[in-house]
Amino acid sequence: MRRVGFLLKVRPDRIEEYKQIHAAVWPEMLNALSAAGWHNYSLFLCDDGLLFGYFETPESLEAAQAAMAVTEVNERWQTMMSPFFEFPEGGKADELLLPLEEVFHLD
């Protein structure tokens, strides 16, 4: 299993709404993530909007992203969520996340 960590930046004025949406993620989105190989997926949010995400996948980050990219639910989710993030207009979080290099793991 490959461990993937990444960063994104939530707009500070949208943090509370972002948290509310993630308290009730669509069941079809949860199913699509699992089917696409996104396991043990977690998001952690700082007060300033810095978002750290983590998940495990049997292949690579790129393969996990590609598996989600072909789903209809992912397109709807990304369109709805794009205004919450600080990145160029028209960008999608799943395409613009900043992957982090794993430097230590305690087994």
Catalytic site residue from 3, 19, 22, 39: 22
Predicted confidence band of residue 97 (pLDDT cuts 50, 70, 90): confident
Q: What is the mean pLDDT of residues 69-93?
A: 88
Q: Which amino acid, residue 92?
A: K
Whether 105 is covered by a domain: the verdict is no
**For this structure, is 22 an active site residue?**
yes
Domain of residue 74: give its range.
Answer: 2-100
> What CATH number is attached to the domain comprising 42?
3.30.70.100
**pLDDT value for 91:** 72
* Helices and strands per DSSP (H, E), number in the chain: 5, 4
Cα 12–93–52 angle (5° rounding)?
60
What's the number of domains the chain is made of?
A: 1
Q: Residue 52 domain-assigned?
A: yes
**Quick one: tokens of 57?**
């996948």
List of residues 6+ apart from 106 with CB closer than 8 A:
none
Q: Where are the alpha helices (DSSP H) in 1-107?
A: 15-22, 27-35, 61-69, 72-81, 93-96
Q: What is the pLDDT of residues 20-42, one digit of tens each?
A: 999 999 999 999 999 999 999 99
What per-residue confidence (pLDDT) applies to 88?
Answer: 67
In angstroms, the Cα distances linking 98 to 61, 64, 103 are: 11, 15, 16
User: Would 107 be classed as within a structural domain?
Assistant: no
